[in-house]
Chain A
Amino acid sequence: MESGIGHIISQRKGDPMKPGIRWGLVIFITPVLVWLTVLILLPQVDMFIMSIRAKNELGEMVFSIGNFKLFFLEPIYWRTFARTAIFSILVTFLTFLITMPIAFYITKVVSPKFQGFLSVLILMPFWVSELVRVYGWMILLRESGVINHFLIKFGLLNKPIEMLYNDATMIMGLVYTSMLFMLVPLLSALESLDNSLIEAAYDLGGSVWSIATRIVIPHCLPGIVSGSIVVFMLTLGNYLTPNLMGGKNGLWFTEQIYNQFIASFNWNQGSAFGFLLLILSSGIIWMGLKLTKQTLGKVVQ
């Protein structure tokens, strides 16, 4: 947004032949600025103001950092927070591990006429809403579900087991939900990888492992990082899947925020939590970019 304004000004400075403001640019940029200000910046500012206010003994709203203090004093909050962060990173990594071979198979192994077909096949589940997909998993996995039914029928189990409501199932659900968002950037990154580079590495004595780690992954790094950012943010902010598939004692931080806003009706506390989540996701993405030596500008291209 600021760079947008800077652009207009620098254009004026840089071009002495046109001293006036470039109206074409202003017309195109105004809706974006309005959208960013009204729908993103203002609510965030309001949230921030709310988060640093709390009721005093007399029931008046005053400035306070109590909302943030409570987060650190109450173990349930920061533990859920840390758990959400670690699981989100794990989900992102697992999604990458599963998606990378699929993307490689679609772009480099399959004959070109099947590439489109396979991509559509992967896209298809995303035509239905996330809620329906999660319920689909629940129908498969629950105690009286399809998988249990067949396991018992074939004599592999004596009595049905509960496959839902644990961390493993929740992670599986989250990975499934995010796969497409990793696959699309990986497909386009691999598409731009020249096949002869892979062949040259193979010819020079490279093994599958060394070709993957020295040639394919370095080439795809911008795609991997951009896919990871999207998957990480979606997972961190996911409410539906952890709530429906996760166990009762495996809370997700979004559920804590929801509880504060809806159950406790403590909007100030909820705002503080929301802010903490924003800081967390920004911090981890910043760290990820530093570790992979990428810049946001390069990754979002």
Chain B
Amino acid sequence: MHTDLSVINVIKKFQDFTAVDSVSFDVEKGKFFSILGPSGCGKTTLLRMISGFFEPSSGTIEINGKNMAGIPPNKRPVNLIFQNLALFPMMNVAENIAFGLERQKEKRSVIKTKTGEILERVGLPGFENKKVDQLSGGQRQRVAIARSLVLEPAVLLLDEPLGALDLKLREQMKIELKILQTQVGTTFVYITHDQSEALVMSDHVAVMNKGKFEQVDTPRNLYAKPLTPFVARFVGENNQWSARVTGLDHNPDRQTALIRTPEGNAFKTIMRDRLEPGDEIDLFLRPESIVLEPDSSIETLNRFTIIVKSILFDGANSRILAQLPESEREIQISLPQTGQFDYIQPGDRIEAGWSPESGISFLREKAIL
């Protein structure tokens, strides 16, 4: 497969502060690649290095196999969609889109047809003569994408372009953006702090923290098999629980650890790291991997008692906020809206369970202790 963008060991330092620390990744042609991280993690700096506004302190950025060192932004085959979109208010929609084509010395007639085509493609046919300030948020979004896509860049960089939209529109644009990307087949590199945007749209997601990539993987794997505690915490909801390893269960298929929580619950969980008895671990449990009132016939299940504190109704995303008996520890558990659990009331004492396969455990980092 052809690689459109290669970032090799890129480091960016601002005086003493290292914003991007030895980041390497490849993006294949036509893929949707996201960089997900909290604000200040260095993702924008990384994007600005790819687009050419910053030069890396060290490392190489290659686009289409060509080293980009020293090439200014206006000479790179990448285009950036800015966070605030940066549409030119002094021009109408057609002039905005034509700006880049004019710089490439295209003929007027070619510019006119290309502008018409790209507007059609983003779902804004006939919008040529509209003023930028007459457009709605979603329409501005599309014009900004059209303005960059019309130049047929090797890679389209997007810097949290959905951040300014309201929730409903954001959900809609997420899907539209993914469909558009599939249609045009341009490589997208998308940065965001919103995990849902990254998971829904991307082929691959890199989770970035403090200038480093924690994990680069498919959205499914990020969710199911996080490699670091940060990824487990950042991608999706998770209940975090500390525990101590009390024993190992050597099974031919998989290694299982016997653990005990400070509250006194004894659980089994599969091991990701090599664990020894006595190790302190962090255990992560997804709200949906905890089962309410499990069938007593399932033997392998870890079982424990909870006291319902409150019910957080949010449609399909509803949760129970529960507490362990004689403890302050709070746990969130998915509450399926099938009517099966409608009888549960705050204050109820019920049983919950989870299967050892769904536990994600990490050896506790000593520094945090």
Is A207 interfacial (CB 8 A cutoff)?
Answer: yes
B73 neighbours in A (Cβ, 8 Å): 199, 202-203
Is A130 interfacial (CB 8 A cutoff)?
Answer: no
Contact with A along B169-213 (1 / 0, CB 8 A): 000000000000000000000000000000000000000000000
Cα A200 to Cα B157 with chains together (Å) = 12
Tell me if B74 and A205 are in contact (CB < 8 A): yes
Tell me if A210 and B103 are in contact (CB < 8 A): yes
Cα A155 to Cα B323 with chains together (Å) = 93
Is A204 interfacial (CB 8 A cutoff)?
Answer: yes
Cα A210 to Cα B83 with chains together (Å) = 23
B86 neighbours in A (Cβ, 8 Å): 194, 196-197, 199-200
Cα A219 to Cα B89 with chains together (Å) = 8
Is A8 interfacial (CB 8 A cutoff)?
Answer: no
Find B79's partner among A197, A203, A210 (CB 8 Å cutoff): A203
Within B126-152, the residues touching A (CB, 8 Å) are 147-148, 151
Tell me if A204 and B100 are in contact (CB < 8 A): yes
Cα A205 to Cα B148 with chains together (Å) = 10
A219 neighbours in B (Cβ, 8 Å): 89-90
Contact with A along B81-120 (1 / 0, CB 8 A): 0111010111100000001101110000000000000000
A215 neighbours in B (Cβ, 8 Å): 88, 90
Q: Which residue of B lies closest to A201 (CB)?
A: B99
Cα A289 to Cα B309 with chains together (Å) = 70
Cα A199 to Cα B48 with chains together (Å) = 11
Is B53 interfacial (CB 8 A cutoff)?
Answer: yes
Cα A196 to Cα B82 with chains together (Å) = 7
A204 to chain B, nearest CB (A): 4
A196 neighbours in B (Cβ, 8 Å): 82-84, 86
| In the complex with contacts A215-B88, A219-B90, A203-B51 CB distance below 8 A | yes
A214 neighbours in B (Cβ, 8 Å): 88, 90-91, 99
| In the complex with contacts A199-B53, A218-B90, A219-B90, A204-B103 CB distance below 8 A | yes
A210 neighbours in B (Cβ, 8 Å): 102-103
A197 neighbours in B (Cβ, 8 Å): 86, 88
How many interface residues does chain A have, given as a range? 10 to 19
| In the complex with contacts A199-B53, A214-B99, A218-B90, A204-B79 CB distance below 8 A | yes
Cα A203 to Cα B86 with chains together (Å) = 11
A202 neighbours in B (Cβ, 8 Å): 72-74
Tell me if B90 and A204 are in contact (CB < 8 A): no
Is B322 interfacial (CB 8 A cutoff)?
Answer: no
Tell me if A206 and B103 are in contact (CB < 8 A): yes
B80 neighbours in A (Cβ, 8 Å): 199-200, 203
Cα A200 to Cα B53 with chains together (Å) = 11
Cα A199 to Cα B207 with chains together (Å) = 27
Cα A38 to Cα B231 with chains together (Å) = 77
B21 to chain A, nearest CB (A): 25
B100 neighbours in A (Cβ, 8 Å): 204-205
Q: Which residue of A lies closest to B76 (CB)?
A: A203
B188 to chain A, nearest CB (A): 16
A194 neighbours in B (Cβ, 8 Å): 84, 86
B212 to chain A, nearest CB (A): 26
Q: Among A203, A206, A218, which residue has the most Cβ atoms of chain B within 10 A? A: A203
Contact with B along A206-246 (1 / 0, CB 8 A): 11001000110011000000000000000000000000000
A52 to chain B, nearest CB (A): 46
Find A203's partner among B74, B88, B90 (CB 8 Å cutoff): B74
A199 neighbours in B (Cβ, 8 Å): 53, 73, 80, 82, 86
Cα A114 to Cα B51 with chains together (Å) = 28
Tell me if A204 and B151 are in contact (CB < 8 A): yes
B191 to chain A, nearest CB (A): 15
Cα A197 to Cα B87 with chains together (Å) = 7
Cα A218 to Cα B52 with chains together (Å) = 26
B150 to chain A, nearest CB (A): 10
| In the complex with contacts A197-B88, A199-B53, A215-B90, A204-B148 CB distance below 8 A | yes
A196 to chain B, nearest CB (A): 4
A203 neighbours in B (Cβ, 8 Å): 51-53, 73-74, 79-80
Cα A6 to Cα B104 with chains together (Å) = 53
User: Can you name 22 A-B residue pairings with CB atoms under 8 Å?
Assistant: A194-B84, A196-B84, A196-B86, A197-B86, A199-B53, A199-B73, A199-B86, A200-B82, A201-B88, A201-B99, A202-B73, A203-B74, A204-B100, A204-B103, A204-B147, A204-B148, A204-B151, A205-B103, A205-B104, A210-B103, A218-B90, A219-B90
Nearest 4 A/B pairs, CB to CB: A205-B103, A200-B86, A204-B100, A196-B86
Query: A residues within 8 Å of B by Cβ?
Result: 194, 196-197, 199-207, 210, 214-215, 218-219
- 10 new A-B contacts, CB < 8 A, other than A194-B86, A197-B88, A214-B90, are A196-B84, A199-B80, A200-B82, A200-B88, A204-B74, A204-B79, A204-B103, A205-B104, A218-B90, A219-B90
